[in-house]
Amino acid sequence: MIRAIMPGMSEKGEQEGGALSADLEDAARRGDTAYLLDALGSPEVQVRILAAERLGEVGGDKAGLALLTLARDRWGERPEVRIAALRALRSVQSPERYANTLEEFICAENRKVVSAARKILDSLDPGGYAARLVSRGCLDHNAIRTYGERREPTAVGLLAGYLHDRVTAGDATGSETWGKVYAGVRALGSIGGSEATAANRELDSALREEIGSLTGLKRERARKILGATEACMNAPAEG
């Protein structure tokens, strides 16, 4: 039976918590997967985190399946525990399979989980990281900046499509969209090429037609975006 670590522990409680940690470490040394799997059912977050870490050390099919199930439990488990499970999987899965597993968590997920998964994936596959973001359709600010900083050519279609959608919807200067539009323009400018330039030109033309009817913040946002489109379109081609 797994002993619980209670919030606000007394000195005796801290001693019991230390004993539990030692129990889990001892179970890992013994390769006692069943004990560690039982610990994943503890009501205490820290116990589940420690159990996930130890399962990664033990390895094996049962540990791998349990860790993957835990990492995917987006509705029933705390982000901290899911992240611990994701990290532990690195010791269980092959590098290629692990990178593919991480891709599941880099978009449309809990922010903490996304951040952790992206950091691990970037360290594991820095050369392919940006393309993996593209493959998942990631269009948050961080992803868009990454496309531009790494000049990821496969991102052009995704970014061009996003800008086109904003032009069509007429919300390029909206409070929830303009920041990503601006970042997208700059990313396309960094990547370069005819398709990227065409996407920025379409946006530029649409905003110039619209700016006369805009007021306040929307007008200021349009001016900032237009400054970026103009700079990108007039930048000399590299190479």
Nearest Cα neighbor of 84 from 48, 118, 120 is 48
pLDDT in tens, 41-68: 999 999 999 999 999 999 999 999 999 9
Listed residues 76, 106, 125: the one ending a domain: 125
Q: Is residue 113 part of a domain?
A: yes
Q: Which of 11-20, 21-30, 108-117 has the highest mean pLDDT?
A: 108-117
Residues 170 and 199 in one domain: yes
Q: How far apart are CA 122 and CA 96, in angstroms?
A: 13
Q: Is residue 83 part of a domain?
A: yes
Q: Is residue 44 part of a domain?
A: yes
Residues 117 and 136 in one domain: no
Q: Compute the average pLDDT of residues 83-89.
A: 98
Listed residues 103, 125, 147: the one ending a domain: 125
Q: How many domains does the chain have?
A: 2
Residues 202 and 171 in one domain: yes
Residues 115 and 140 in one domain: no
Eight-state DSSP code of residue 93: S
CATH code: domain of residue 34: 1.25.10.10
Full-model pTM: 0.88
Q: Quickly state the pLDDT bin for 235 (edges 50, 70, 90).
A: confident
Domain residues for 74?
15-125
CB neighbours (10 Å) of residue 64? 19
Contact 90, 116 (CB under 8 A): no
Eight-state DSSP code of residue 104: T
User: Hey, what amino acid is at 19?
Assistant: A
pLDDT at 20: 78
Is residue 99 scored above 60 in pLDDT?
yes
pLDDT in tens, 167-181: 999 999 999 999 999
Q: Quickly state the pLDDT bin for 13 (edges 50, 70, 90).
A: very low
Tokens standing for 110?
């809990």
Q: Is residue 1 part of a domain?
A: no
pLDDT at 17: 55
Is residue 3 scored above 90 in pLDDT?
no
Residues 34 and 72 in one domain: yes
Q: Is residue 150 part of a domain?
A: yes
Across all residues in the chain, what is the average pLDDT? 92
Residues 82 and 146 in one domain: no
Residues 186 and 220 in one domain: yes
Listed residues 101, 125, 149: the one ending a domain: 125
Residues 148 and 208 in one domain: yes
Q: Is residue 6 part of a domain?
A: no
Residues 100 and 155 in one domain: no
Contact 19, 4 (CB under 8 A): no
Residues 110 and 214 in one domain: no
Residues 187 and 230 in one domain: yes
pLDDT at 18: 67
Contact 33, 64 (CB under 8 A): no
Q: Is residue 157 part of a domain?
A: yes
Q: Is residue 168 part of a domain?
A: yes
Contact 156, 199 (CB under 8 A): yes
pLDDT in tens, 108-167: 999 999 999 999 999 999 999 999 999 999 999 999 999 999 999 999 999 999 999 999
Is residue 10 scored above 60 in pLDDT?
no
Residues 20 and 116 in one domain: yes
